């Protein structure tokens, strides 16, 4: 029996529809919420991500600004832009698309964003509030995963949950959210001894490590729920056949058309045979990340206007 696919599309649509309806009510007596997206450099993936976020803003009624800066932008120049956005009363949310060029100090830039406009949830104040169990803005990908699990009525309380990856963007905040929902949580990383032995104990396995198809059947407990956060490109036909098995034909067509196809950090052919439930890549977690950004921007606008 194959694993049930946990598509993010229906969940993301539901979240965005709720945001759209609330913005319509909110905008009757005042301006629509506004999100300022800042991108530095010419990274193609970053350009796509920002474009998707701007498009989602248009769908739900959020006003958006796109500040595209050259690769040569200095930390001081970026800080000047952030400060100007902080001071503007017509801007409710600020996001700086990561990663930034190596010449820019990412930490300083994130800390400069007004915590009340930090819709990515990366500012130390928002990280601290999450750690205390009193979150204001939660990073969008972990928040979206919780929405996905709730939508499909997947039990979190009392489960053995394992998070593979310890980034500030996904791994650490994901572990905090699961802990606050009464899961027993293990965080794994590149230094974990016998990783497969740990992950095989997990009823809920969330993978965010950035290595294409690393998690195969040996890492998955039979019947487990597996959430794949990874987004990696495959460019060789033999890699595609190995990752997707009997389902490779459609992916090979995509490869022939685009020059690549996407895969997560979990080997799909193995997850479909061993897991109980599994998120596809694409079409899974990524859609929810953008939807939760819309929800956070609405929340920022309400908080700044004193609306509960």
| Residues 153 and 100 both lie in one domain | no
Q: What is the pLDDT of residue 26?
A: 87
Catalytic residue among 97, 118, 203, 265: 97
Is the pLDDT reported for residue 177 higher than 90?
Answer: yes
Active site residue 153: no
Is the pLDDT reported for residue 1 higher than 80?
Answer: no
pLDDT per residue as tens digits for the range 198-213: 999 999 999 999 999 9
| Residues 272 and 160 both lie in one domain | yes
- pLDDT band per the 50, 70, 90 thresholds, residue 261: very high
Rounded to 5 degrees, what are φ and ψ at 275? -70, 165
Active site residue 2: no
- pLDDT band per the 50, 70, 90 thresholds, residue 27: confident
- pLDDT band per the 50, 70, 90 thresholds, residue 295: very high
Residue 198 lies in a domain: yes
| Residues 109 and 230 both lie in one domain | no
Active site residue 180: no
pLDDT per residue as tens digits for the range 102-129: 999 999 999 999 999 999 999 999 999 9
The CATH number of the domain where 36 resides is what? Answer: 3.40.50.10860
| Residues 104 and 174 both lie in one domain | no
- The span from the CA of 205 to the CA of 70, in Å, is 39
Name which residue leads in pLDDT, 78 or 305: 78
| Residues 270 and 224 both lie in one domain | yes
Residue 14 lies in a domain: no
Which residues span the domain enclosing 249?
140-286
Q: Give residue 245's region: left, alpha or beta (phi > 0; psi -120 to 50).
A: left
State pTM to two decimals.
0.95
Question: What's the whole-number mean pLDDT along residues 208-230?
Answer: 97
Catalytic residue among 120, 203, 228, 265: 120
pLDDT per residue as tens digits for the range 138-173: 999 999 999 999 999 999 999 999 999 999 999 999
Q: What is the pLDDT of residue 44?
A: 85
Question: What's the whole-number mean pLDDT along residues 239-258?
Answer: 96
Name which residue leads in pLDDT, 306 or 291: 291
| Residues 167 and 97 both lie in one domain | no
Residue 144 lies in a domain: yes
| Residues 108 and 238 both lie in one domain | no
Q: At what angle do helices 9-26 and 140-151 cross, to 10 degrees?
A: 110
Q: What is the pLDDT of residue 3?
A: 95
Q: What is the pLDDT of residue 291?
A: 98
Catalytic residue among 53, 117, 295, 299: 53
- pLDDT band per the 50, 70, 90 thresholds, residue 43: confident
| Residues 109 and 164 both lie in one domain | no
- pLDDT band per the 50, 70, 90 thresholds, residue 308: low
Residue 206 lies in a domain: yes
| Residues 49 and 159 both lie in one domain | no
Of the candidates 307, 289, 158, 184, the residue with the CA atom closest to the CA atom of residue 230:
289
- The span from the CA of 243 to the CA of 269, in Å, is 6
Is the pLDDT reported for residue 21 higher than 70?
Answer: yes
- The span from the CA of 92 to the CA of 112, in Å, is 15
- pLDDT band per the 50, 70, 90 thresholds, residue 307: confident
The CATH number of the domain where 238 resides is what? Answer: 3.40.50.720
Q: What is the pLDDT of residue 45?
A: 84
CB-based contacts of 30, cutoff 8 Å, min separation 6? 305
Residue 219 lies in a domain: yes
Is the pLDDT reported for residue 28 higher than 90?
Answer: no
Please tell me the total count of domains within the chain: 2
| Residues 49 and 157 both lie in one domain | no
Residue 8 lies in a domain: no
**What strand order describes the sheet that includes 34-40?**
63-69, 34-40, 93-96
Question: What's the whole-number mean pLDDT along residues 220-249?
Answer: 96
Class of residue 66 by CB neighbours under 10 A (exposed 0-12, middle 13-18, buried 19+): middle
Asked if 242 and 262 count as a contact pair (C-beta separation under 8 A), the reply is no
């Amino acid at each position: 029996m194959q694993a049930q696919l946990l598509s993010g599309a229906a969940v993301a649509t539901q979240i965005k529809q709720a945001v759209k309806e609330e913005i319509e009510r909110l905008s009757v007596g005042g301006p629509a919420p506004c999100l300022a997206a800042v991108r530095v450099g010419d990274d193609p993936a970053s350009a796509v991500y920002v474009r998707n976020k701007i498009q989602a803003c248009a769908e739900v009624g959020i006003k958006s600004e796109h500040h595209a800066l050259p690769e040569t932008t200095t930390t001081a120049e970026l800080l000047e832009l952030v400060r100007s956005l902080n001071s503007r009363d017509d801007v409710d949310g600020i996001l700086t698309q990561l990663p930034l060029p190596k010449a820019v100090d990412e930490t300083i830039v994130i800390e400069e964003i007004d915590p009340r406009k930090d819709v990515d949830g990366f500012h130390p104040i928002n990280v601290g509030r999450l750690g205390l169990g009193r979150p204001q803005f939660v990073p969008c990908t972990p928040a979206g995963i919780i929405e996905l699990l709730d939508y499909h009525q997947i039990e979190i309380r009392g489960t053995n949950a394992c998070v593979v990856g310890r980034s500030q963007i996904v791994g650490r905040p994901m572990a905090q959210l699961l802990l606050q929902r009464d899961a027993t949580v293990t965080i794994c990383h590149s230094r974990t001894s016998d990783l497969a032995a740990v992950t095989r104990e997990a009823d809920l396995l969330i993978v965010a490590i950035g290595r294409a198809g690393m998690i195969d059947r040996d890492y998955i407990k039979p019947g487990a729920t597996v959430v794949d956060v990874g987004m990696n490109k495959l460019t060789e036909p033999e890699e595609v056949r190995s990752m997707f098995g009997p389902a490779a034909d459609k992916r090979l067509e995509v490869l022939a058309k685009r020059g690549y196809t996407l895969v997560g950090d979990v080997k799909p052919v193995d997850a479909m045979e061993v897991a109980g439930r599994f998120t596809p890549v694409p079409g899974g977690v990524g859609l929810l990340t953008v939807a939760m950004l819309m929800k956070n921007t609405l929340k920022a606008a309400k908080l700044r206007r004193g609306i509960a």
